[in-house]
Each structure stands twice: as C-alpha cells, then as structure tokens.
Structure 1
C-alpha cells in the first residue's frame, strides 16, 4: 500500500526524503503519525527514523530552511527535534533495545528498521512509511498493524509478556489507547497485562498518573477503568477505588456497587464538562464509602459521613498518586465534602439561610457542584432520575434568587479585622475573630444585609455587649 498522496499534504516529507537521499540514509515516518494518518485523525507529532545518525539528519533538515528553524538536540537519547508551525518533528536513528529487570530504561544500540519496529509497543504504532524518493509513500507493516486498525485491536508486535515486563508503562498505554480509540485489547495481550500487573511497581507515579489523566479525558472513561480493574492494574496504584467494588447483602437488604456507580457518575459528568479536576471529583466523591459502611437492621446499609471522610482522604490520595497538592486538590476536596449538600435543599421548606450557607461554602465552585450532583443521579428507574433532576432545577433557581438578592458567594465580611482593631483600639486577639464570625453568621442567617452600613451597626451593638467602646479621636 502506498501513501504518497497523503504525505504530499505536508512539504516536510519531501524535504526530509530529499535530504535523506543526499546523505544516503534510509528514512521513514513512523509510529503515531502513521497510525493517525491511516485512521484520519489529526496528529501534530511527526517522528522520523533513519538507518543511521538521526541527529545529523535533523541538523541538515533544520539548516535547509531559508529562515531559522529551532533545533533541539538530546545527545543522551540520540534524538533531535525541530518545530515547524504547530508541528513537532523528531528524528532518531533506528535502534534495538534490551532491558534490565529493575528498570524500564533500555540499553540502546544502533539497529535496523526491523529491529526498531520490533521494539515498539503495539502493532498499530509499529508501522513505517518510507520518505526516500524511490520508495516514497511505501508502507512497511511487518506486524499487520493496518489489519489491527481495521479490527480495532490493541496488540503487541511480539510476546506481550516480554513487551510489558521490559517496559511496564506500556500496560498503562495499552489501556489508554484502547480508551482513546475505543479499541478492544487482544486476548493474549490482555493476558500479558494480568501476568505483569505487579511490574507496574517499578514505574514512577508521575508516569502512571500522566497516562491515567489521558484516560480520564476521553469521552467515556469508564471503559478504561473497567480494563484497569479487570487486568488488576488499578489494584497496583489506586486500591481505594478497587475497594468500592462489590455488593454486600444481609437478608433482602443490599447496597449498590459503588465502583460501577462511580464510573457511571464519571461518564455522566464527562457529558457536561472537560474539566479534568471536576472529573476527578466524580471519581473521588464516594471514595470513603467502604470506610463508612455500616448495616442497620431498620434502614439497611448506611454510609454516614462518607463525604467528610472522603474529603479528609483526598490529600493523602492526591499525594500518593503524584497529583497536584495545590488549589486543584482543594477544589476536588471541597466538591467531595459538599456533594450531598444540595440534595438536602430540594424541600420546599428549605430556608434562604441554608442556601446562603451553601453559596458561602461552595463559592465559585457552586456551578460545578451542581453538575456533580446531577451526574450523581444514576438510578435505572428513569422516572426517579427525572424527578431528582427536576428537584435540582428548583434548587438552582433558588440559588440564583438568593445569590441575586444577597450576593454571598465568596463574600468577605464587610468589616475587616483591621477596621475592628482601629475602631476600638484593640491589639490582635481572639475577640476580633469572634466579632467577625458573629457578623458573618448574621448575614448568612439573613438578620442583616450583606453591606457595610448594617455590619457596622451590628458591630457596635456586639461591642457594647462586651463592654467595648470606640476609641476617641
């Protein structure tokens, strides 16, 4: 099969081929670009392999442009990269690899194109297209990658046990590609995942979470998580999520499987947002249910306090998984802690005070919190789902009304601690915090409006009750 017409769309392929011919280098475009070209997917990363010095070819290509083209050389890896508009173009010499059992870093030696293709992770990534003039556009596909694309199969080019044992990160990549492309994993390749799942322990948390986040960002992440669970890969790095799986029963009372419920919530939230951290909130929202599960003979299974326990667990999980320990973690933690609160507001008897408190506690995350609550409705009874969603419509309307009237989202007390100290001539002390807290509570309860005038009037009354008098000028 020849792809010369497809390669003609970008000038870089003819340019590289011409220079490779002048240097006497057999040269191919390989890997992901070839896969995506065949699948009709956009790809901005172009990888060239030449049988010879890749850095020398990259240097010659960069120098062939009339204007300066940035060239980055990575001598330790034998690679070089140039940037052309939106494209990153990488060059490397063909190589063969061998591995030590305690490391995924290969011992690299110069090799042939065939050896270079053999070292690649999957058949769909092991195809090459020649760019030399006499064979321009010719597909080299020794492992039937084209056939596997048509069959929608992820398969290793050689023995999967060797492929995954050599570089265990490839197991995460197998699931990631299956998730992104909606492909199945070949039976022997999947067995290789199961056999080598324990090898994931030699991979850094940063590399694992990078692959996991890419899975989470697909349209329907539940598929990838089911593969991770079935292959036992998830057990190696996220045991808290594994513990969600399963159903306990006592008599005729049982609870839902919280693992599959979580995956449904995750899929639901993905329809509403591409915010990675809101998707993480969906993953984490019930993470403490196993730790809070209790059986009550009258009401059945309960998970009281799982939202607070889950919020307390969030920093430790984020730290171990090498997720960011910054405002993004705090945002997820906040949503986990508050995810049951809006459900309590569906009653017609809910006071404005309760809504104000939710607005105050959620701040700018209130809209995302409501998305999470909607995603959390996973009943198989469609009438029940519609009833819950209609209730959330009412809650959101009530939130809008209270917010417009009281403006309490993220509000700061109208009177600062510095002003209180200045008015009464006080030094920093506990009483300053107590006065601010009472003003805040009065606003949230609706006793006073959220403005400085009413806050100051209340401040003077509170101070008088404590025997404090304004400082005389």
Structure 2
C-alpha cells in the first residue's frame, strides 16, 4: 500500500533528498503515521528513522532548508531535533536495544529498520512510511498494525512480558493510548501489565505524572483509571483512590462506593472543562473519605471533615509524585476543601450572606467550584438529578446577583491596618486584626455595605469597644 498523501508536506521531500545525499534510507514512523491512518488531526511532531546516522541526517536536512534551523543534538541517545515552520522533527538512527533489570534506559546498537520496528511499544506505533525515492510513501507494517487500528486494539509487537518488563512506562502508555483513542488492550497484553505492575517502581514520578495528565485530558478519563485499577497499577501510583473502593454495611446501612462515584464525577466534569487541574480536583475531591469514614448507630455512615483531610492529602500526594507544589496545587487543595460548600447551600435556603461567604472564600475560582459540584451529581434518579441541578442554578444566579451588588470576590476591606493605626494612634497589635475581622464579617453578613464610610464608622465603634482612644487630630476633623 502506498500513502503518498500522508507525506505531501514539502519537508518530507527535503528529508528524502537529504537522505539520498548521504546514501541512507529514511522513514517516517510512529505517531504521525498512526494518526494519519486514524484520520486524526495531523501531528506536529514527526519521528524520522535513518538506517545510518540520524544526527547526520538532521544536519543535512537543516542545510537544505531555507532558514537553516538550529539542530539540537542529544548524543547520549543518538538523536537530533529541529523545528521547521510549526513542525518539530526528531531524527534517530535505526537501532536495536537490550535492557538490564534495574533501568528502562537501554543498551543501544546500530540496527536495521526491522530492528527498530521490533523495539517499538505497540504495533500501531511500529508503522513506517518509506521516504526513499523509488518507494516514496510505501507502508511497512511487519506486525499487522493496520489491522489492529481497524480492530481498535493495543498490542505489543513482541512478547508483552518482555516489552513491559524492559520499559515499564509502556504499561502506562498502553492504558493512556487505550483511553485517548478509545481502544481496547489485547487480553494477553493486559494480563502482562498485571504480571509486571511491580516494575513501575523503576519509572520516575515525572514520567508517570505525564501519562496521568494525558489520561485525565482524554474525553473519558474513567476508562484509563479503571484499567489502572484492574491491572494493579493504580494501587502503586495513587493508593488514595483505591482506598475509596468497596461498600461497607453495618446493621443494614450501606454507603456508596466512592471510587466508582469519583470516576463518574471525573467523566462528568470532563464534558464541561479542559482544565486538567480542575479534572485533578474532581479526581481527588473525595480522597479524604477513606480516613474519615465512621459508623454511628443513630445516623449511619459519616465522613466528617473529609474535605479538610482531603486537602491535606492533596499536598502529600503532589509531593510524593513530584508534582508542582505551586499555585496549581493550591487550586486543587481549595477545590477539595470547598467541594461540599455549594452542595450545602443548594440544599438549604440560599441566603445572601452564605453566598457572599462562598464568593469571598472561593474568589476567582467560584465558577470552577460550581462546575465541580455540578459534576458531583451522579444520582440515577431523574427527579433528584433535575432537582439538584435546579438548586445549583439558583445558587449560580444568586452568585451573579450578590457579586454585582456587593463586589465581594477577592475584596479587600475598605479599611486598612494603616487606617486603624492612624485613627487610634497605635502600633501593630492584635486589636488591628480584631477590627479588620469585624469589618469583614459585617460586610459578609450584610450588616454594612462594602463601602468606606460604613466600614469607618464600624471601626470607630469596635475601637471604642476595645478601649482604644481616637487620635485627637482625626477627632477634630
């Protein structure tokens, strides 16, 4: 089969001519070919294999391009990369690999195209298109990857136990591709992941997180997390999630399985946001339920304080996985900490003061918080489903109304600490904090408007209550 239409971009002709100049064979391989055959958006990163030096080919291609792009060389891996227009092209010499047990970094030797295809992770990623002058666009498919694309199958080219043991990251990649492409993992390959799941411990946390991100960014992330759980990988990566599995029953009282509920929430939120950190918040919003679960004879199962416990667990989880301990983590923590607040509001009369506090505490993330809470509705009862969503609509409308009127999102109290010190001629002290807190509470409760004059009057009253004396100059004014 010939697929010249896949390689119509001028860069492929330039690569072909450059390879001829060097007297080497060249092929485009991997994701670019796979995605073309699947009819997916054309990839912007292209992998080129040269039966010879990939670095030399990259340099020759650069010479033949009008803008002579810089070639980045990675000698350790025998690869080179250059950028042309909006493309990122990586060149590697065909190679064969062997592994030792304690590392996913292979011992590399020069090899043939067949050797190079043998070392690929999956049959659908071993597809190659010839860039040679006389066979330009010809498909090389030694493992029947075309059939696996049609059958929507993830399968390793060689023995899956060897493939996964050699490079255990491939277990995560198999599940990620199955999730992204909505494929299934061939049965023997799936069993091999379960058999080799202990090997994931030699993979760096950063690479694991990259795959988790890609699973979370998929249209239906639950597919990936169910596969991670089924193969035993999830317990080694995110035990906080597997701890949510199961339903306990005492005296006829049961609670829902919080693991499967969580995956429903993640799928729900994925229909409404592409923000991977908000999807992380959905994934982790209930992790505090496992350590806080208790049974009380009178009220049944409780999870008191699970939001607070969960927010602390987010920090420990991010630290363990070497994820960024920055504003992204704080955002996830805040979402987990506040995940029940709108639910409580929606089940009660929605008061202005409660909404003001919600908007003040959530700040710029109040819309994200509402999106999370709406995704948290997983009831299969149509009447309850409509009722809960209608209640949240009331809360959303009230947020807009209160925000337009009271401007409490990220508000700074109209009276500063400096104002208080000048008014009462005092130095920094606990009284300043007491007065500022009183003003903030009064505004949030709706006792005074969010305005300077009203806040100033309350400051004077609070100062008097605390026994402070007004600065004589201000008093005279």
Residue 210 of structure 1: aligned partner: 210
Secondary structure in structure 2 of the residue aligned to 1:129 = strand
Match for residue 428 of structure 2? 428
3-state SS of paired residue (1:73): strand
Stretch moving more, 30-39 or 247-256: 247-256
The answer to whether the aligner puts 1:33 opposite 2:32 as a matched pair is yes
Partner of 2:19: 20
Aligned 1:267-286 pairs, distance under 5 A: 267-286=267-286
| Secondary structure in 1 matching 2:324 | coil
Report the Cα offset of residue 347 of structure 1.
Answer: 5.2
Which residues in structure 2 correspond to 1:41-440 (within 5 Å)?
A: 41=40, 42-346=42-346, 349-440=349-440
Residue by residue over 1:217-247, the C-alpha shift from the partner in whole angstroms, topping out at 9 and shown as x without a partner, is 0111000000000000111111010111111
Range moving further from structure 2, 199-208 or 312-321: 312-321
Alpha-carbon deviation of 1:348? 6.1
Alpha-carbon distance in structure 1 between the residues aligned to 2:142 and 2:408: 65
2:431/2:466 contact within 8 Å kept: no
Q: Within 2, Cα distance between the matches of 1:265 and 1:5? A: 42
Report the CA distance shift for 1:349/1:185 in structure 2 as closer, same or farther (over 3 A).
Answer: closer
Of the structure 1 ranges 65-74 and 411-420, higher mean CA displacement relative to structure 2 is found in 65-74
CA distance 1:57–1:254, change in 2 (3 Å): same
Deviations, residues 368-391 of structure 1 (Å, cap 9, x unaligned): 111111110101111111111011
Query: 1: distance between equivalents of 2:370 and 2:347?
Result: 16
Q: 1:351 and 1:246 mapped to 2: Cα distance?
A: 37
1:241-267: CA deviation from partner (whole Å, max 9, x where unpaired): 011111111243211111110000000
Measure the CA separation in 1 of the matches of 2:66 and 2:351: 71
Q: CA deviation at 1:297?
A: 2.5
Matches of 1:30 and 1:346, distance apart in 2: 53
Spell out, residue by residue over 1:148-178, the C-alpha distance to the aligned partner (whole angstroms, 9 max, x if none).
1011000000011111111111110000000
Give distance in 1, aligned partners of 2:168 and 2:206: 14
Give the superposition deviation at 1:465.
2.1
Q: Deviations for 1:294-343, whole angstroms, at most 9, x for unmatched residues?
A: 12233322212211211121111111122211111111111111111112
Structure 1, unpaired ranges of 5+? none
Matched, 1:3 2:11: no
CA distance in structure 2 between the aligned counterparts of 1:205 and 1:344, rounded to whole angstroms: 37
Q: Out of 217-226 and 402-411, give the one that drifted further.
A: 402-411
Range 319-328 or range 342-351, more displaced: 342-351
Question: Cα deviation per residue 1:66-89 (whole Å; 9 max; x = unaligned)?
Answer: 333222111221111111111101
Report the more deviating stretch, 75-84 or 148-157. 75-84
C-alpha separation in 1, matches of 2:240 and 2:371: 24
Question: Structure 1 residues 203-212 or 244-253, which shifts more?
Answer: 244-253
Q: Over residues 105-141 of structure 1, what are the superposed CA-to-partner deviations in whole Å (9 max), with x where a residue is unaligned?
A: 1111111111111111000001111101011111111
Q: Count the aligned residue pairs.
A: 472
Distance in 1 of aligned mates of 2:221 and 2:384: 25
> How far, CA to CA, are the matches of 1:106 and 1:205 in structure 2?
19
Deviation for aligned residue 1:199: 0.4
- TM-score (norm. length: structure 1): 0.97
How many Å separate the matches in 2 of 1:369 and 1:5?
46
Inter-CA distance 361–119: structure 2 relative to 1 (3 Å threshold)? same
Query: What is the alpha-carbon distance in structure 2 between the residues aligned to residue 326 and residue 94 of structure 1?
Result: 41
Equivalent position SS for 2:129: strand
CA contact (8 A) 2:54 2:80 kept: yes
Superimposed CA distance per residue, residues 9-43 of structure 1 (whole angstroms, 9 cap, x where no aligned partner): 20111111122122210111111111111111121
TM-score between both structures, scaled by the size of structure 2: 0.97
Task: Note the alpha carbon deviations across 1:185-224, whole angstroms, 9 max, x for none.
Answer: 0011101100110000011111100100010001110000
CA–CA separation in structure 1 for the residues paired with 2:5 and 2:237: 45
Q: Per-residue deviation at 1:423?
A: 2.3
Q: CA deviation at 1:410?
A: 1.1
